[in-house]
Chain A
Amino acid sequence: MRRIRMNPRVDWRERCESVGLDFHTIDGEPYWDESAAYVFSLAQIEALEQVVEDVHAACLDCVDDIVRRGDYDCFALSRAAQAEIEASWRRGDPSLYGRFDFSWDGHGAPKLLEYNADTPTGLVEASVAQWHWQTEVRPGADQFNSIHERLLERWPAILLRGARVHFAALAEHGEDSATVRYLMDTAQQAGMRVRGLDLAAIGYARERREFVDDLGARIDHLFKLYPWEWMWQDEFATHIGTASTRFLEPPWKLLLSAKAILPLLWERHRGHPNLLPAAFSDTLGRPAVRKPKYAREGANISLHGADGSLIESPGPYAEVGHIWQSAAPLPCFDGRYPVIGAWVIGDNAAGIGIREDHSPITRNTSCFVPHCFE
């Protein structure tokens, strides 16, 4: 794994926009950065692929264990949420996708930082934009990227062809809207009937006890790019258990998206080469990272160094408590700290996307840098 400098395509903005990545620049700064690229070897990619599927299997095993024990204390969930999580797991409600974040420099074992199992984004850039970049800029190389093909395979595996699927996100979030548009497109290609709507436009018909769309039609399957922990806090939470709607991602994915899963994973798979020691209290020594149990975009994370140093990121997540995780310092290439986002479609490793930051904490302002392997 190495970082190389590249000459951006002269018309890179237009090229990105032409493939659906129209949020390539955020607050005047490039979010899509093709002035560099990460290059892997085939052996490294094969190793990563295996790691992703191993860790995914460990995660499913952990969910099964939690549901069997019925112990949700560390997740701070309502009884209704617990019941829905259990029901969805026991029913075998399928998952569409997720994204692991790993710390890795190409040597040794990749270390799992967290699993964005519920509302992962960065999909358009990983699946489409970087694929076009590779075919145009480094056509002789290859890329760990079958995300698009896996999605097309996954939809008919989890829903009957012709099923009506609604897609909802918050209209004011541009990146989320783009992610939903892309997923909607893959579903349509896979033979589903799709309809998109603003999350706030979802209705509840009291007499029918159904969630309905903006036209009053029943919502059978809802892909929602909106975290489960917020769903359970919203006014309609009381109807989730009685309505017939099936959700993507399913409720059990909340367990994996919460940072509280990290200590549980470590307890159940202690010594796993791709897991970091994690605990619910400050017992791990230094260096260690303190993370909120529920958080996004690198918010409210504090990195406690072995030398007593402290790096903190601001944010609004501090209500439900924290977990501690031994630090796996991100590698540093040319002064940038990359995180490898590894995509899982269904149960299969499907590709990676890399985001890098000047800081060792990856945030929503971190750049997406394309990759290839040779």
Chain B
Amino acid sequence: MGAGRREPGKACRGVIGVVALTAGTGRLPWSTVPSQGRAPLYAPADDVPKNVAETISWRSKVVMVVLVGGVCLIMLRHSPVYRDTYRTREDCERDWGHLATAERCYSHNNGGTWVWRGPSYEQGARPITRDASLRIGTDEVQRGGFGRSSARFSVSS
């Protein structure tokens, strides 16, 4: 027999138990599967060492809060989102007044160059900033471009 099977008595409980540790963090809040009040652990929670389980439990709650928030944002953000780009971080700071959201990224415009991106905003909702003339471009993020074909069919096989 090749390696394609588990040997009797070679419990995979240890391995599956590890899944249980991560299943909490792996669960996506966007699932519509009826969970009946329990996380879809891939092994009984009894297999989880107590100290680690407590850590994961705490971590799961944080992840859930973050991801649920993310889902709300996703639902709101199927319209384009924009981020202005700047030649330097200082330009971005001068316009927006803070540095926290300035990010360096590569732009394919003008032959390709590194730029700094400011905060995101939705169409028609850009706040009035100190000096918008400093921006050299605007990066548009479109969403909803995958998934529409599913309306006609079922997905899996």
Residues of chain A at the chain B interface (Cβ within 8 Å): 17-23, 42, 45-46, 49-50, 116, 118-121, 124, 128, 131-132, 135, 140-146, 148-149, 152, 168-182, 184-186, 188-189, 194, 196-209, 212, 214-216, 224-227, 229-231, 233-236, 239, 257, 296-297, 299, 316-317, 348-351, 364
- The reply to whether A185 and B23 contact each other, CB–CB distance below 8 Å, is yes
Q: Could you tell me how many residues of chain B have their Cβ less than 8 Å away from some Cβ of chain A?
A: 70
Of B32, B78, B143, B146, the most chain A CB neighbours within 10 A belong to B146
CA distance A235 to B155 in the complex (A): 18
- The reply to whether A234 and B149 contact each other, CB–CB distance below 8 Å, is yes
CA distance A194 to B25 in the complex (A): 10
Nearest CB in chain A to that of B78: its residue: A200
CA distance A47 to B2 in the complex (A): 10
Is B134 on the interface with A (CB-CB < 8 A)? no
Is B65 on the interface with A (CB-CB < 8 A)? no
- The reply to whether B44 and A200 contact each other, CB–CB distance below 8 Å, is no
Q: Chain B contacts of A188 at CB under 8 A?
A: 22, 25-26
- The reply to whether A19 and B41 contact each other, CB–CB distance below 8 Å, is yes
CA distance A180 to B16 in the complex (A): 17
Which of the residues B26, B32, B141 comes within 8 Å of A184, measured between beta carbons? Answer: B26
Is B133 on the interface with A (CB-CB < 8 A)? no
Is B127 on the interface with A (CB-CB < 8 A)? no
- The reply to whether A198 and B74 contact each other, CB–CB distance below 8 Å, is yes
- The reply to whether B16 and A148 contact each other, CB–CB distance below 8 Å, is yes
A207-B108, A207-B140 given; A146·B6 CB < 8 A: yes
21 A–B contacts, CB within 8 A, in A order? A18-B43, A20-B41, A49-B5, A118-B157, A142-B6, A148-B16, A171-B31, A173-B154, A181-B31, A197-B70, A197-B74, A201-B78, A201-B143, A207-B85, A207-B137, A212-B141, A214-B77, A229-B149, A230-B150, A351-B4, A351-B5
Is B35 on the interface with A (CB-CB < 8 A)? yes
A172-B32, A200-B144, A296-B153 given; A149·B74 CB < 8 A: no
Q: Chain A contacts of B70 at CB under 8 A?
A: 197, 214-215
- The reply to whether B1 and A189 contact each other, CB–CB distance below 8 Å, is no
CA distance A149 to B19 in the complex (A): 11
- The reply to whether B36 and A206 contact each other, CB–CB distance below 8 Å, is no
Is B73 on the interface with A (CB-CB < 8 A)? yes
- The reply to whether A20 and B42 contact each other, CB–CB distance below 8 Å, is yes
Is B99 on the interface with A (CB-CB < 8 A)? no
CB distance from B39 to the nearest CB of A (A): 9
Which of the residues B4, B23, B26, B74 comes within 8 Å of A348, measured between beta carbons? Answer: B4
